[in-house]
């Protein structure tokens, strides 16, 4: 979202040191930004130390290929059916522009089918603007919402494509200065069954809901006359930003 901008520790926006302290962060001098290529799910597509027949079968079950699947409680076909249905919104939107080399929400930002409104709606203060935005996010269904400054330390140094297995620039426009962090609760009883198919169903519901939330909030911001990007796992490390957002 438009606003004040941050870069590294020395140029990361106002109060970056105090906000690090408040978040309990100790950033060492040898800190380097994380390359998405090394994220565990991306690595399973290119790193032979991780990529295997087991990872191929794991990915295949999401496409309805159940030959050689794990057997037992939490793994029968009805439970895989539930899991794949839970993921369908996230997966369908992820692949809608795959023919353009995109995998949205995982390697690329989500398409928002709206231009920025020509008339910008002003607010009396940043606090009022933040309260308005949080109220809208809750209307859309988020469980938690917070706002923090963009801090490039937590953006991926590079993106990585699942489509062509190539690294790409992580170009966040200079005008993007704030991050709105959304969080969704997941079904605790199902999560307790991880790594079963039922456990992944809880995760799938969370991803599908968050995908819809991210696009809705981004669309609302554009309707107000401000620039926005809808992102899930495709641009940054979520946990540091979530902590910073409170």
DSSP collapsed to 3 states, 185-244: CCCHHHHCCCCCHHHHHHHHHHHHHHHHHHHHHHHHHHHCCCCCCECCCCCECHHHHHHH
- Copy the structure tokens of residue 82: 């539930």
Q: How confident is the model at residue 133 (pLDDT cuts 50, 70, 90)?
A: very high
- What local confidence, expressed as pLDDT, does residue 61 receive? 84
**Is the separation of the CB atoms in 104 and 96 below 8 Å?**
yes
Is the pLDDT at 13 greater than 90, yes or no?
no
**Is the separation of the CB atoms in 180 and 56 below 8 Å?**
no
Higher-pLDDT residue of 61 and 159 is 159
Give mean pLDDT, residues 199-226. Answer: 97
Residue with tokens 């079904």: 187
The C-alpha atoms of residue 32 and residue 157 are separated, in whole angstroms, by 9
The C-alpha atoms of residue 203 and residue 208 are separated, in whole angstroms, by 9
- What local confidence, expressed as pLDDT, does residue 8 receive? 37
Distances (CA, A) of 85 to 15, 91, 180, 183, 192: 44, 10, 28, 21, 19
- Copy the structure tokens of residue 246: 């409170």
Distances (CA, A) of 31 to 9, 34, 76, 153: 10, 9, 44, 9
User: Strand, coil or helix: what is 137?
Assistant: helix
Is the pLDDT at 149 greater than 70, yes or no?
yes
Is the pLDDT at 11 greater than 50, yes or no?
no
The set of residues, in sequence order, having a beta carbon less than 8 Å from that of 205 and lying 6+ positions away, is 86, 186, 187
**Is the separation of the CB atoms in 50 and 44 below 8 Å?**
yes
The C-alpha atoms of residue 137 and residue 184 are separated, in whole angstroms, by 11
- What local confidence, expressed as pLDDT, does residue 212 receive? 96
- What local confidence, expressed as pLDDT, does residue 9 receive? 43
Is the pLDDT at 15 greater than 60, yes or no?
no
Q: How confident is the model at residue 16 (pLDDT cuts 50, 70, 90)?
A: low
pLDDT tens per residue, range 99-128: 999 999 999 999 999 999 999 999 999 999
Q: What is the DSSP letter of 122?
A: P
Give mean pLDDT, residues 226-232. Answer: 97
- What local confidence, expressed as pLDDT, does residue 1 receive? 58
Element (H, E) at 94: helix 77-94
């Amino acid at each position: 979202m438009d606003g004040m901008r941050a870069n590294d520790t020395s140029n990361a926006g106002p109060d970056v040191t105090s906000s690090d302290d408040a978040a309990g962060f100790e950033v060492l001098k040898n800190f380097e930004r994380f390359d998405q290529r090394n994220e565990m799910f991306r690595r399973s597509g290119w790193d032979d130390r991780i990529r295997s027949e087991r990872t191929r079968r794991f990915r295949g079950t999401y496409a309805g290929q159940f030959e050689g699947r794990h057997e037992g409680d939490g793994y029968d076909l009805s439970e895989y059916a539930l899991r794949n249905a839970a993921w369908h919104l996230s997966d369908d939107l992820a692949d809608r522009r795959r023919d353009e080399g995109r995998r949205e929400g995982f390697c690329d930002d989500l398409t928002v089918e709206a231009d920025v409104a020509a008339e910008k709606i002003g607010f009396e203060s940043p606090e009022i603007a933040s309260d308005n935005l949080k109220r809208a996010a809750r209307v859309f269904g988020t469980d938690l919402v917070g706002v923090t400054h963009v801090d490039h330390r937590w953006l991926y140094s590079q993106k990585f494509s699942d489509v062509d297995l190539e690294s790409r620039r992580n170009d966040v426009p200079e005008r993007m200065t704030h991050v709105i962090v959304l969080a969704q609760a997941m079904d605790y009883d199902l999560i307790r069954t991880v790594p079963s198919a039922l456990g992944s169903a809880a995760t799938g519901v969370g991803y599908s809901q968050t995908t819809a939330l991210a696009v809705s909030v981004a669309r609302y911001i554009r309707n107000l006359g401000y620039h926005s990007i809808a992102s899930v796992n495709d641009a940054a490390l979520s946990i540091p930003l979530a902590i910073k957002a409170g």
